[in-house]
A and B are shown apart, each in its own frame.
Chain A
């Protein structure tokens, strides 16, 4: 199937700014679904609120554009009640880790079979450029005119510690790598997290003098390096890209099915 067959044409034009990284994430994601050959009817995309969250409207899957921060909680209800469905949950960094941080760690802890995609632009795009828990120290934002003093999360470390059984990181510069990680994440049984650094030229780039979209994207190649690469070994301060965790552990819905089996037996 062609990529355009996964899009809802009547939803276009999309609302993203020219040069926004979120479109690249959409592209990588649809390629992953296409290459895996998953039926559109088997996919539910659940998103929250934000520029990133609008992605769910553009795809021809079952789509649930929910509340800011709550996409994983909605997804948990969908998945547990109908485990045969594949759950894709793209989220902005604020969506996933500020207001939705609690749901994020608990979904990871349960190891429920959902794929979380953190579209990390280090800023609140939709509301006009306020700092996020992933902005990090010393950044400019509309709510940090004197620069941020808040520490940021490391999404990978957080997901690992919370119990996610598949954790990967890449960027919009590395779109084919993103497709590859997303394919693995989607096929992984359990809670998978793919963090994709995604540029917001409009609110982050401009304020923090990181240039326009092409410059920001090119910069992702400079500030990151593949896990196990010589580049990373020589420059440990760079941000690692790759698959950090890929392990098997009991999956929540399957464990619950065992409870049902047991409870039903007890009843007979």
Chain B
């Protein structure tokens, strides 16, 4: 069968991925540079019986998708900086109440209104720690449209598997860039559906009791089991509890269910990494420049490779340590003031060999920017 090929924006590739994954409900509020996701889904969802709603703000959008997820639907919202800030309280609710949902944040310049059409990767740490309290989160990213598609599918799969919000951290450049997307056939990529409880009617269903494999089967609102969902500390029935044991078990569970599975959650790509003496670590649109630069230098015989991260949280510490162990120098390439770099420094044996190649002026980082820094590191002058 002939493949369906599209020439579209990154934001549209995200929509295609979401539809492939089975998104059924979207609530959002317009904000550049993410708006195309809402616009496309307002058209595409009802075509397949799904629902789209433009809420009064981003807080309401986040709350609405949580409500919809509880009826058993696959749900998503999309936003950018200011809207991502507004969503944080409800993202924490989804962490606490363990509600599967996907939040795309197409990053723009910040803080505050910053610049809606400037590229930035400044929300990396906000994705991890934007909401208050100890919690865990999954955040994914991609540097080209084929990967945006598949990482979006992954986001829905991981949200269902771990009953957690999953954040898609894209950026303005990749979101608005047009390039080719080859649509995978049905069945080509795995899809994880909602895991529903097999506990029968009249039998005590405990919504927050993990199975042996750690997963927590759900029951849809409207189905046989009536239970309580709350953002308060709660026991396995979902009832509020202040029992110290219950509280610490709950928080540990929220952390462990992701920390214990870093290995299965981690997504990355290696480019020209064979025997690389210089390792560039990058993600999102800045990875494109890093890959471009590594390719050129390889052609000239230099041993430069790129470790492209597609999962940022949970932070793949062991992967970084392993891939950088033989490197003479590690350059983190990102468009912020070093948000990932600090984590890389903490992960490697010798933090002194980790350098930052960045831009924070709203312009895309270029291969020449990275090359300039590399020359200095190599002692070849400026």
Q: Given A70-B63, A259-B46, does the pair A57, B90 have CB atoms closer than 8 Å? A: no
Q: A63-B229, A264-B46 are in contact. Are A46 and B67 (CB under 8 A)?
A: yes
The binding surface of chain B is classed by DSSP as mixed
Contact B239 A11 (CB under 8 A): yes
User: What 0/1 pattern do residues 37 to 70 of B give for CB contact below 8 A with A?
Assistant: 0000001001111010101110111011111111
Q: Within 8 Å of chain A (Cβ to Cβ): is B216?
A: no
Asked whether B55 lies within 8 Å of A73 as measured between CB atoms, the reply is: yes
Question: Which A residues lie within 8 Å of B49 (CB)?
Answer: 260, 264
Please judge, given known A-B contacts A64-B70, A67-B90, A70-B90, whether A80 and B53 are in contact too, CB under 8 Å: yes
Contact B67 A76 (CB under 8 A): yes
Would you call A44 an interface residue if the criterion is a C-beta within 8 Å of the partner chain's C-beta atoms? yes
Residues of A within 8 A of B71 (CB): 78, 81-82, 85
Q: Which residues of A contact B57 (CB under 8 A)?
A: 102
Size of A's binding interface in residues, CB under 8 A: 42
Whether the pair B63, A77 counts as a contact (CB closer than 8 A) is: yes
With an 8 A cutoff between CB atoms, is B248 at the interface?
Answer: no
Are the CB atoms of B226 and A40 closer together than 8 Å? yes
Q: Does A127 contact B (CB under 8 A)?
A: no
Interface string of B61-101 (1 = CB under 8 A from A): 10111111111110100000000000001100100000000
8 Å CB contacts to A: which residues of B211-252? 220-224, 226-232, 239-240
**A244 at interface by CB-CB < 8 Å:** no
Bound CA–CA A266/B223 (angstroms): 32
Known: A81-B51, A259-B46. A76 touches B239 (CB 8 A): no
Q: Is A32 an interface residue (CB 8 A)?
A: no
A66 interfacial by beta-carbon distance below 8 Å = yes
**B228:A65 contact, CB within 8 angstroms:** yes
CB proximity to B under 8 Å, residues A62-111: 62-67, 70, 73-82, 84-85, 102-103, 106
Q: With a CB–CB cut-off of 8 A, which chain A residues contact B221?
A: 44, 62, 64, 78, 82, 85
Collect the chain B residues with CB atoms within 8 Å of residue A120's CB.
none
For A63, the closest partner residue in chain B by CB is: B228
Q: Which of A63, A74, A82, A263 contacts B63 (CB 8 A)?
A: A74
Q: For the complex, give the distance between the alpha carbons of A66 and B222 in Å.
A: 18
Q: How far is the CA of A264 from the CA of B46 in the complex (A)?
A: 7
Contact partners of A74 in chain B: CB under 8 A: 63-64, 66-67
Say yes or no: A76 contacts B222, CB within 8 Å. no
Report yes or no: B228 in contact with A256, Cβ–Cβ below 8 A. no
Residues of B within 8 A of A259 (CB): 46
Instruction: Assess the B226–A57 pair: CB atoms within 8 A.
Output: no
Binary per-residue interface labels of chain B (186-220) against chain A in the complex, 1 for a CB within 8 Å, 0 otherwise: 00000000000000000000000000000000001
A76 to B53, CA, bound (A): 9
Q: Once bound together, how far apart are the Cα atoms of A81 and B66, in whole Å?
A: 11
Q: How many angstroms between the C-alpha atoms of A264 and B49 in the bound complex? A: 7
A-B contact pairs, 10 of them (CB 8 A): A61-B226, A63-B227, A63-B228, A64-B70, A74-B66, A76-B55, A78-B71, A80-B68, A103-B56, A106-B55
Smallest CB-CB A-B distances: 3 pairs:
A77-B67, A77-B64, A73-B63
Task: Known A-B contacts: A40-B226, A76-B63. Give 11 more (CB < 8 A).
Answer: A46-B67, A70-B90, A74-B67, A76-B53, A76-B55, A76-B67, A77-B64, A81-B68, A82-B72, A85-B222, A264-B46
